[in-house]
Amino acid sequence: MSKTKHHLASQPATNGHYSVIVVGGGQAGLSVSYYLAQHGIDHLVIEKNTVTHTWRHQRWDAFCLVTPNWQCALPGHPYRGDDPHGFMKKDEIIAYLDGFIAMVNAPVIENTEVKRVRRLEDGRYGVSTTQGDFIADQVVVASGGYHTPIVPRMAERLPSHIVQMQSSEYRNPETLPDGVVLVVGSGQSGAQIAEDLHLAGRKVVLAVGEAPRCARFYRGRDVVDWLADMQYYDMPVEKHPLREGVRDNTNHYVTGRDGGRDIDLRKFASEGMELYGRLEDLQRGVLHFAPNLAINLDDADRTYNSINASIDAFINRSGIDAPAGSAYEAMWRPAAERTTLDMATSGIAAIIWCIGFTPDFSWIDAPVFNGRGYPAHVRGVTPLGGLYFVGLPWLHTWGSGRFSGIARDADHVVQAVLAHRRKRTMCVDTVAA
């Protein structure tokens, strides 16, 4: 695994003042630091763990990107390798990030948790941390939107001998006990972890949710390449048919493994993986599933074919010469909906919960959140002057929070920081006059 010595800011004094404090040292926070440094703005990045921690410590061993390498476009640090249409593996991703960390050379303190951010009477912000208190003229929250793993309360009632873990804790099949593995959830992580186990010859039971899927390659190209040409990745959230509702969507499952391919749950089923519908409850040692497996598989395939149909239409409009298209046809269907599974006789030895995360911004004491605890903002700029968010799903476009779109978002937020700084300076000058 590639390693780098991270530049750390000298330990700041308690009550230290900064023009900007950035909370979070992932790719979003480091991107903001990159642009702040370009404009000569003093700032501090505060990271709860270590910079880019999630990529290093919350990904399984066989993890790889699901988007092609050419979409790795962190500010000032585009992908420069010899496989732009390939998919970087975990160690390659970390090496790419190490290069970015070294280039940005951000003033960051690690292993420091921000306990509270509050607005002061003078319009600045108080930032309380495990390393002391700071004052900032402005704050950029770059901690992402995936904070608290979702594990249902039924997990408390499972037999004690069952090994349970969340998707961020899974590493490889060898670390699990012998026996059947139940994977709950079929989004990107669930589908890929189920595949990882299946390819290793493990018996897998998969509780299939409502996640959509898409093709890896279609009509001679990666689907991502087609969608880029169709400018899908430039579509702002306010022009998406779902508007802000798209932020709640589950990502399509697909993989970049072994050069990239579809993930077809029906194929896995034909090879011995057991598929059930959504997991609903545990009663008297019996797991209960919703009778929606067939519907979920059909809906995922419908999305798959719909995306391909939009590519067909683009090809026809543009007069592009491309291989012929086709529609996916189901190669396996459940004979009947199985809705129960007895824990005592199923042989289940481990359960991996792959049902996502919830955001937790309870440490931010500011009136910018809606009833669901999600910040109100326009491209990361909140109604409260000097408070910003970056790295959230669909903050502005599909690429927000991903390597492909974070540069645009971070630059926009820093431009807002500069505008607020000028406005504040003008107000101070006016008062002094």
pLDDT by residue for the chain (433 residues), tens only, comes to 334 445 555 455 555 899 999 999 999 999 999 999 999 999 999 999 999 999 999 999 999 999 999 999 999 999 999 999 999 999 999 999 999 999 999 999 999 999 999 999 999 999 999 999 999 999 999 998 777 888 999 999 999 999 999 999 999 999 999 999 999 999 999 999 999 999 999 999 999 999 999 999 999 999 999 999 999 999 988 988 887 777 777 889 999 999 999 999 999 999 999 999 999 999 999 999 999 999 999 999 999 999 999 999 999 999 999 999 999 999 999 998 999 999 999 999 999 999 988 889 999 999 999 888 889 999 999 999 999 999 998 888 888 888 999 999 999 999 999 999 998 776 655 555 5
Residue among 144, 382, 374, 66 nearest 245 (CA): 374
What pTM did the predictor assign? Answer: 0.93
Residue among 164, 178, 210, 176 nearest 191 (CA): 210
Instruction: For residue 328, give the DSSP letter.
Output: -
Rounded distance between C-alpha atoms, residue 116 and residue 127, angstroms: 6
Task: Tell me which residue has tokens 């700041």.
Answer: 12
146 near 361, Cβ under 8 Å? Answer: no
Q: Where does the chain hold its CATH 3.50.50.60 domain(s)?
A: 16-147+359-432, 149-353
Q: What is the pLDDT of residue 430?
A: 54
57 burial level (CB within 10 Å; 0-12, 13-18, 19+): exposed
Class of domain 16-147+359-432: alpha beta
Q: What is the pLDDT of residue 121?
A: 94
Q: What is the pLDDT of residue 245?
A: 76
Q: Which amino acid is at 217?
A: F
CATH number of 149-353: 3.50.50.60
Residue among 405, 408, 409, 396 nearest 244 (CA): 396
Residue among 291, 318, 296, 392 nearest 28 (CA): 392
